[in-house]
Amino acid sequence: MRVRFIKYEGLGNDFIIVNNMDGMAALEPPQIAFLCNRHFGVGADGLIFIRPPQEKDADFFMEYYNSDGTAAEMCGNGIRCFSRFLWDEKLSDKSRLKIETRAGLKVVDMLVDGEKVTGASVDMGEPVLVPSVIPANYEGENVINKPIVIDGAQINATFVSMGNPHCVIFVDDLKTAPVQTLGPKIETSQYFPQKTNVEFVEVLGRNQISIRVWERGCGETLACGTGACAALVASSLNNKTDRSAVVNLLGGRLVIRWEDDNHVTMAGAANRVFTGSIELQ
């Protein structure tokens, strides 16, 4: 089977996007993992299928997979790239799109400069703080600056879901943060039955933070849109920032706002990298 794709990136968070409106690209998890492998395949942080929506109010369905082939609910950088793909490939000429995801319906406004689309602003929905809904194994109504124990050491953490689970840790120095060692331990800890993304956050001011992300099913990535949203929500809840901030990631910047209606909006770039096709066994 030959798979045709276009690769996009949002702040260095890169994705293989496949137009699967006809349903012909039926890939198994090992095939998805092969495509995302940077040594033997195309190389990407995730793979996205464009599918027809099931919800009548939606324009398209975004079917997202992590680089290890596991399905995930949502991807913030991915949905911006997904929307840019639709515009570039003339699958839609709408400046506002309603995208169905496994985490519900998301509204995307294209960022247009003249006739050129440079990125998108996404209504990421409302953050979820209830542990049983995130899901997380923790007693109480929320986990805001509360202790978790990893390898016998106590760490204060904040749990947030942005359609997928996040564990936010505040650090004094992001450069020396134990992302590669502590990240995978928290990801697979007993607190998160479906694993979790982990954000390490350094606060630079009331309206600016920097983060590094250990992404569930991927490892450390250059950027994570839902992670940036979760980090801003956690920073505001802990009174470290206001409800709007620039979030610096390894791959660039996102502007995140926790609006008065409780919705979180994310604005940032999305870029086409290259097109191609690959033969799968």
pTM of the predicted structure, to 2 decimals: 0.88
Cβ neighbours, 10 Å, residue 78: 29
pLDDT of residue 114: 78
End-to-end CA distance of the chain: 7
Do β-strands 208-215 and 244-249 pair in parallel, antiparallel, or remain unpaired?
parallel
Give the whole-angstrom CA distance, residue 186 versus residue 133.
Answer: 18
pLDDT of residue 118: 85
Cα→Cα distances 169→42, 64, 129, 141, 149, Å: 32, 26, 15, 19, 13
The three state secondary structure string of the chain is CEEEEEEEEECCEEEEEEECCCCCCCCCHHHHHHHHCCCCCCCCCEEEEEECCCCCCCCEEEEEEECCCCECCCCHHHHHHHHHHHHHCCCCCCCEEEEEECCEEEEEEEEEECCEEEEEEEECCCCECCCCCCCCCCCCCCCCCEEEEECCEEEEEEEEECCCEEEEEECCCHHHCCHHHHHHHHHCCCCCCCCCEEEEEEEEECCEEEEEEEECCCEEECCCHHHHHHHHHHHHHCCCCCCEEEEEECCEEEEEEECCCCCEEEEEECEEEEEEEEECC
Q: Which residues contact 152 (CB under 8 A, 6 or more apart)?
A: none
Cα→Cα distances 274→4, 56, 169, 221, Å: 11, 32, 35, 20
Say if CB 92 and CB 197 are below 8 A apart: no
Catalytic annotation, residues: 75, 224
Nearest residue to 95 (alpha-carbon basis) of 60, 64, 120: 120
Side-chain half-sphere CA neighbours of 277 within 13 A? 7
Q: What does each of the 281 residues of the chain score in pLDDT, given as a tens digit? A: 899 999 999 999 999 999 999 998 889 999 999 999 999 999 999 999 999 999 989 999 999 999 999 999 999 999 999 999 999 999 998 999 999 999 999 999 999 887 788 899 999 999 999 999 999 999 999 999 999 999 999 999 999 999 999 999 999 999 999 999 999 999 999 999 999 999 999 999 999 999 999 999 999 999 999 999 999 999 999 999 999 999 999 999 999 999 999 999 999 999 999 999 999 87
